[in-house]
Amino acid sequence: MSTTSIGSLTRRNFLRTGALGAAGMALAAASPLAAQQLGLELEYVSAWDVNLTPPQVIGPTPDGLRQIIYAVDGTASGPKMNGTWLSGGGDWLRVRSDGVFALDVRATIQLDDDSLAFVHYPGYGVIAPEVFNRIASGEEVDGAEYYFRMTPRFETASEQYAWLNSTIFVGTGQLGPFLASVHYDVYQVL
């Protein structure tokens, strides 16, 4: 793509560019996408409460400190999604050299229509060492004291929950005492 400075732009090219720009703006105004709000809106979907195994600490690797934490069981309950977390899923967690927790969670949720949904989400946890130690020692620490966010994606064959396959989600997390559980609040981006 070539660029032209404003000083070398001829009147004819200016008018042609302006006409194309105006036509493009008119098309955009007629598009349903143009009707979307500039800001994002969120709608609450579900609370997830998951019990966890102690981590399998692989140790420091070239990609960071690797740990695998399995989901024992759990629930998803809320206005738009309900179900049970099945055992076998987990987090292939990596603690980066800068101390950031990089989530790589993959799990199966049995939805309330008896269908299954595969959920995968990356995310980040930024937790000061003293806050992490309080949680690991059994203290209930408010999630507002640290950053814990994720972006789940779903795959399901359920007709009732087919909307999960084409929707963007975000969530906030909170670690439970002794790191034995995790709570998420999941939101749909409208």
Does the pTM surpass 0.75? The reply is yes
Q: pLDDT tens digit string along 122-150?
A: 999 999 999 999 999 999 999 999 999 99
Q: pLDDT tens digit string along 147-161?
A: 999 999 999 999 999
Query: Out of 37-41, 87-91, 161-165, 175-179, which region has the weakest mean confidence (pLDDT)?
Result: 37-41
| 98-103: long-range contacts, CB 8 A cutoff, minimum separation 24 | 99/126, 99/129, 100/124, 100/125, 100/126, 101/125, 101/126, 101/127, 101/148, 102/64, 103/150
CA dihedral angle for residue 103, residue 109, residue 115, residue 120, rounded to 10 degrees: 0
Give CA–CA dist 151/123, Å, rounded. 6
Mean of pLDDT values over 91-112? 97
